[in-house]
Structure 1
């Protein structure tokens, strides 16, 4: 892996220990209590709904919010009492916060100057970073002359020019339009792959998290509810929020062989042979709808439902169903029209056991 400080190679120090933190922050009735560990080279994404505590955790890492309790160690050094400006931390804020009166070059040079570098040295380092970001031709442009993607790269260069041991990114792609976001996400992934210290990304966008991070930490109501590799979390969601993010119907129940009796609702037949508390998940595309009770259907799972609502979901229609088993079903526009689906319509929903996935709770 290439050192991201290549413009002025800073050899990785022996004995680096990465991040070890327990962030406890009390803010009125809200309490954040999140533990984070990461080795140098790791990219960790904090994922969660609005108000979950993601940004509070990021601000606590940066020193902008004091800890009520817990600890914060970076490369073995305690940072709880270290002032924000003295921490080896780089931050890319959601709106980038570039200095409007400074050129891109001087925005990037600002950090090294604050660390004591001479003006010439700081500008030399900044120029190298802008070249690395593909922005050498925009070195003298003010932020108002930059596109959203260019401004994001200047903000990232400014954070990295200080040679941080911890890089914090707060919704770094949120300000971009869809087309620019796709391009900048790919560029950011490349830069993060080269970063040999710890990076922590805050996002509510599951695609950003899945593409950019090596590990996801899902936070709800100030607590970690699940963490692991993106592929594992996508396949084994453990809360409704995560299931909705990755596009799965999710239920919890008690397994007895191939039958799972749901905590609230009917039974589901699965291919897995399990015992005890389990989750059962299946995608909306696995659901087949009928207006009349099907006869001779091979599906082992059949429930009587009612259409609560319909919405466009990509190039398909998503039907939100209530009844014996609340669930979401995806079908084509043609199929929805042929079934004459509308709110209040009675339907039968089937799912084959082979399309379900059960796993221990």
Structure 2
């Protein structure tokens, strides 16, 4: 492992207690709601927020007692924080100069990194004349210029518009793939995390609640926050064979389990009816429409009933059903798209 960290930060109304292990070459995304402790963890690793306890081991050496400039850590801040009075070249050369590298050598290092990120022609340009995407790449080059063993990125795409974000996301993935140290990315955007990271670590209320590959997290969420993040209805209940009992509802699932279990299904697996449908759908109950909103190309209907859930229907189906808040409907969930797994 390049990084082994146990981060404890105590404040009057908040406590972060999280462990992070990141091997060389891996990109880990820290995900979580606002106030979960993501940025606190990042600042603790960088030495910008003092730890109340725990330790940080980088390449086998303890670094938590060292000042930030001695930790071999590169940081890309959300707003990039480039020096406005310096050119792109001198911004990137700043780190090596602080490490004692001569001016000419530092500028050679900076020129090579600007070429690597596709900005060789902008070496003499100051930050005020750079686009958001260009500034982000200069900030990345500056972080890499100190030859870090740990790279920290705090919402690196948040300041970009949607079109630029799409382009820079793919470029950033390529640059991170070429970095041989450990990388930790803080983001609240699930798409950024899924595209950029090899592994996700989900933090809620100062603690790690789930970790795993993006596909595994998306398939088997373990908290309401993660379920909302990946767009699933999630419940915890008691499994008995191919059924999971959640409160007063007995849900049929595609898996056979026994004992405490999570059960999840996408909003697209929910069908709505004005009257009880013919046949005998296995997962069927009455619900009341709590709210309706546009969701991509569909309409998302929020339902209150024995269990709260979200259903996605087409605009034409919503019009045919004449759906309005407060209306009572029948909700049916396809058992083949309802998946259960141990809690």
Report what 1:280 is aligned to.
263
2:303 to 313, 321, 334: 321
Distance 1:353 1:98 in 2: 53
Equivalences for 1:51-90 in 2 at 5 Å? Answer: 51-90=35-74
Distance 2:296 2:128 in 1: 34
2:233 to 222, 240, 249: 249
Report what 2:33 is aligned to.
49
Equivalences for 1:178-257 in 2 at 5 Å? Answer: 178-257=162-241
After superposition, the Cα gap between the structure-2 partners of 1:60 and 1:255, relative to the gap in structure 1 and judged at 3 Å, is same
1:294 matches 2:254: no
Report what 1:26 is aligned to.
10
Query: Residue 162 of structure 1: CA displacement?
Result: 0.8
Distance 2:17 2:312 in 1: 37
Tell me if structure 2 keeps the 8 A contact 1:303–1:325. no
Runs of 4+ in structure 1 displaced over 4 angstroms?
none
Report what 1:334 is aligned to.
316
Say which SS state the counterpart of residue 226 (structure 1) adopts. strand
1:146 matches 2:127: no
Distance 1:105 1:307 in 2: 58
Query: Residue 267 of structure 1: CA displacement?
Result: 1.0
Query: Residue 325 of structure 1: CA displacement?
Result: 2.2
Distance 2:337 2:23 in 1: 37
Report what 2:252 is aligned to.
269
After superposition, the Cα gap between the structure-2 partners of 1:191 and 1:265, relative to the gap in structure 1 and judged at 3 Å, is farther
Distance 1:66 1:184 in 2: 32
Report what 1:4 is aligned to.
none
Structure 1 gap ranges (5+): 1-16
Distance 1:250 1:265 in 2: 15
Distance 1:23 1:85 in 2: 19
Query: Residue 265 of structure 1: CA displacement?
Result: 3.8
Alignment deviations for residues 305-359 of structure 1 (CA, whole Å, 9 cap, x no partner): 0111011111111000001221000011111011101111111110121110110
Structure 2 gap ranges (5+): none
Question: RMSD between aligned alpha carbons?
Answer: 0.8
Query: Residue 276 of structure 1: CA displacement?
Result: 0.3
